[in-house]
Structure 1
Amino acid sequence: MFDQLYGFLAEYWLTLISILLLIGFSAFFSGSETALTAASRSRMHTLEANGDERAGLVSRLIERRDRLIGALLIGNNLVNILASSLTTSLFLGILGQSGVAIATIVMTVLLVIFSEVLPKSWAISAPDRFAITVAPVVRLFVAVAGPLSSAVNAIVRFILSLFGVNLSREESMLTAHEELRGALDLLHREGSVIKADRDRLGGLLDLEELEVSDVMKHRTVMRAINADDPPEVIVRTVLESPFTRMPLWRGSTENIIGIVHAKDLLRALAEPNMEPRDLDVGKIAQKPWFVPDTTSLKDQLNAFLRRKMHFAVVVDEYGEVQGIVTLEDILEEIVGDIADEHDLEIQGVRQEADGSIVVDGSVPIRDLNRALDWRLPDEEATTIAGLVIHESKLIPQERQTFTFHGKRFIIMKREKNRITKLRIRPAEDLPPGQ
């Protein structure tokens, strides 16, 4: 028995070692492919900036992903085919024709376990570290097999072009912002990113998609100063206001002639022998800055920073005043104004004991979504009242109810054509039949 085994090993030892080495190479190619395709480009960029040269190798390899994968697949298939051929030849010499079936079974088990599942599982468990480790060797192999990989890719592109598929023109289905937002949502669900951080980063990504009209204070709630009021009334209005800047109008609220800053007013009153009745508010008012309501928040934020201003008057395409926007309005889109993610501290929002939410019609949809982690659409309307009107296609009456987007909206109060108060509850909380 031992003599037969010794004779077998003596005769076929070189073939056995070759098969084991080829299986090892196959495992290397499989693990490298998985690690390099799963490696984080941002992580590699950070490590390279910190002086890790191997991370730079990884970044350069995955820049030409098609060439990298092609080279690794060529290497993997080459060693797999060679290992299978040697194994088949070995079993044919020992067992005859039945050795083909046995060789197929043996190599299938060995390749699946040791060349596919094991190395890929290892690589995917720590792709960045695995990629950095194998990058120097992979780079050498890609340099050798790269021309062959490019030729194979050219053939593949030609064949696909016959079916109308042009890989050179294929673009990612997601923009960079959408990919970042998707990553944030995924990390939040996994518990790696808390809701407050997700909302802040998401708000920053939304600046380019939102317009000034989405965050401005509408002219119906805008506090302004009448330039024709007595100076004492103007001083009292400014001092009683919670705002440091207020628009100044004359004749009509559409005619904004300046912006009054409380500090400028107090500085003027502090002048020697200055009495409130002698104040000329027009002289201390700053020149108003008018911006279109279609300006993106990203552009408006940059404009605020560039001009070192905090306040602008918003006008529509006809030049009519629509409201005001401040630097704070834009910053709140990033940092939010919720002290605790479980508390409802939005002005105009109240949670009832039955779990429903009573909301003023003027509350922005985005504020509700951020506070309650809802997904109400805000593309066609800015406020909750606007959303109900858009979805219902009419001006609702009091006590009318509507169900859409998984919520039941009950109109509680209406003034003229304005919805001023609503009750919102999840649609699944309603009794059957309602």
Structure 2
Amino acid sequence: MIVLSILLLLLGVFLSAFFSGTETGFYRVSRFRLVLSSLDGDRISRSLLWLINNPSLFVATTLIGNNVANYLTSLAMVLLTRSVSSSGVLEMVAPVLMSPLLFVYGELLPKNLFFQAPNRLLKLAGPLLLIFSALFAPAVAILWALSRVLEKSLGQSPDRVRLTLARKELGQLFEEGQEVGILQPSQRLLSQNFASVASTPVSQVCTPIGRANVLKETATLADARKLAVRKQLPDLPVVESRSTKVIGYVRTIDVLLRDVDDDAASKESIGDILPLTKIQGTELVAEALMQMQAGRQTLALVVNRSGKPIGLLSIDQLTDPLLQGKLGSLRR
């Protein structure tokens, strides 16, 4: 009985250390490295990547594993104390004496090890983790279904948490790139700034139609020059003469560089009106930036799902957030 109790105790401590360590490694591992290993044909990395992309299943597996470890440890302690002595005092004192040992070797040490070397240790622990995932699959499926029901009933989604974790992973990747000399400091800052704003909808950064400084299509060249200089606008939206419907825009540089003196400018028209690219308000900053760059457009019209204009989006509104901090001097 004593040998069995000791074996159960060691098994419980091992399982506690295993699941505590892999849980820390899960949140510390580099997804980028797993992707590269998967592309090289590593099946363990491919399976770990699948678990990382389905965090609720992994969390349920570690939760069940830790509960099994705690149950085995408690059972081993009870069996061991009863095998040594029938004293009730020993049954109360033994868990207290064993707590530091369990805390150090079952929690603290494995967490620190996986924290320091998550990629290497999680890859070594991968086969056993996959075995436990298969063994706990029925219970994991129940917990996963319960979590989905709670998400729908409470209206919460793990997407925001996943996005935050992805941003942290990107930040770590950029820092590693700078440390090994792949990225320059300015390139790392630009990449981090882009990652922080790329997933923002353009409806949150555009200028509402009612607040935009616009020109009537019947305005003169002199009116356009005055508005551009007074408001320091790179582009001037143009609306119909009898409504507020935006029909296009003119570039400030074209207005200022036209070879027309001030007297003649008061009689000249504003010139050719450039068409506006339409962008859905739900589109992300990264998508809008690529779309405007591809079309060489510096101003776009933001519309809602029904096609109604809701704002104006300039290229500066997309690029200025990328040039924060020490990169501010690069703004045009």
TM-score range, shorter chain: 0.5 to 0.7
Q: 2:76 aligns with which of 66, 70, 86?
A: 86
In structure 2, the partner of 1:111 is: 102
Q: 1:145 aligns with which of 133, 136, 151?
A: 136
In structure 1, the partner of 2:311 is: none
User: Is 1:43 matched with 2:28?
Assistant: no
In structure 1, the partner of 2:45 is: 55
Query: Closer, same or farther in 2 for the Cα pair 1:130/1:251, shift >3 Å?
Result: farther
User: Is 1:252 matched with 2:268?
Assistant: yes
TM-aligned CA deviation for residue 147 of structure 1: 0.8
Q: 1:172 aligns with which of 149, 159, 168?
A: 159
The one-letter code of the counterpart of 2:10 is L
In structure 2, distance between residues paired with 1:181 and 1:217:
36
TM-aligned CA deviation for residue 118 of structure 1: 0.9
TM-aligned CA deviation for residue 28 of structure 1: 1.4
The one-letter code of the counterpart of 2:268 is S
Q: Which runs of 5+ in 1 are unaligned?
A: 1-10, 229-248, 257-287, 318-324, 337-365, 374-381, 384-434
In structure 1, distance between residues paired with 2:170 and 2:106:
31
- Retained in 2: the 8 A contact 1:199–1:334? no
- Retained in 2: the 8 A contact 1:84–1:107? no
In structure 1, the partner of 2:328 is: 371
In structure 2, the partner of 1:34 is: 24
The one-letter code of the counterpart of 2:25 is A
Deviations along 1:10-65, one digit per CA (max 9) or x if unpaired, are: x7234323322331222112212221243232331122123332211111122332
In structure 2, distance between residues paired with 1:79 and 1:186:
34
The one-letter code of the counterpart of 1:140 is I
- Retained in 2: the 8 A contact 1:30–1:115? yes
In structure 1, the partner of 2:276 is: 291
For the aligned residue pairs, the C-alpha RMSD in angstroms reads 4.7
SS at structure 2 position matched to 1:78: helix
Q: TM-score, normalised by structure 1?
A: 0.48
The one-letter code of the counterpart of 2:74 is S
Query: Closer, same or farther in 2 for the Cα pair 1:102/1:301, shift >3 Å?
Result: closer
In structure 2, distance between residues paired with 1:63 and 1:315:
35
- Retained in 2: the 8 A contact 1:44–1:55? yes
Q: TM-score, normalised by structure 2?
A: 0.61
> When you count helix as a share of all residues, which structure comes out higher?
2
- Retained in 2: the 8 A contact 1:68–1:146? no
The one-letter code of the counterpart of 2:270 is E
Deviations along 1:272-294, one digit per CA (max 9) or x if unpaired, are: xxxxxxxxxxxxxxxx7433598
In structure 1, distance between residues paired with 2:165 and 2:146:
33
- Retained in 2: the 8 A contact 1:291–1:313? no
Deviations along 1:314-365, one digit per CA (max 9) or x if unpaired, are: 5989xxxxxxx99xx89986997xxxxxxxxxxxxxxxxxxxxxxxxxxxxx
* 1:87-236 to 2 correspondences below 5 Å: 87-95=77-85, 96-155=87-146, 160=150, 165=154, 169-173=156-160, 176=163, 180=167, 184=171, 195-202=185-192, 204-205=194-195, 206=197, 209=202, 216=234, 222-226=255-259
In structure 2, distance between residues paired with 1:126 and 1:179:
19
- Retained in 2: the 8 A contact 1:290–1:314? no
In structure 2, distance between residues paired with 1:125 and 1:199:
25
The one-letter code of the counterpart of 1:216 is P
Query: Closer, same or farther in 2 for the Cα pair 1:194/1:211, shift >3 Å?
Result: farther
TM-aligned CA deviation for residue 67 of structure 1: 2.1
In structure 1, the partner of 2:241 is: none
TM-aligned CA deviation for residue 369 of structure 1: 7.2
Determine which structure has more spread, i.e. the larger CA radius of gyration: 1
- Retained in 2: the 8 A contact 1:66–1:153? yes
In structure 1, distance between residues paired with 2:120 and 2:269:
64
Higher relative contact order (CA 8 A, sep 6+): 2
Query: Closer, same or farther in 2 for the Cα pair 1:185/1:102, shift >3 Å?
Result: closer
In structure 1, distance between residues paired with 2:326 and 2:117:
36
Q: Which runs of 5+ in 2 are unaligned?
A: 213-231, 237-250, 303-313
In structure 1, distance between residues paired with 2:167 and 2:144:
30
Query: Closer, same or farther in 2 for the Cα pair 1:177/1:216, shift >3 Å?
Result: farther
Deviations along 1:168-188, one digit per CA (max 9) or x if unpaired, are: x51433684995389549977
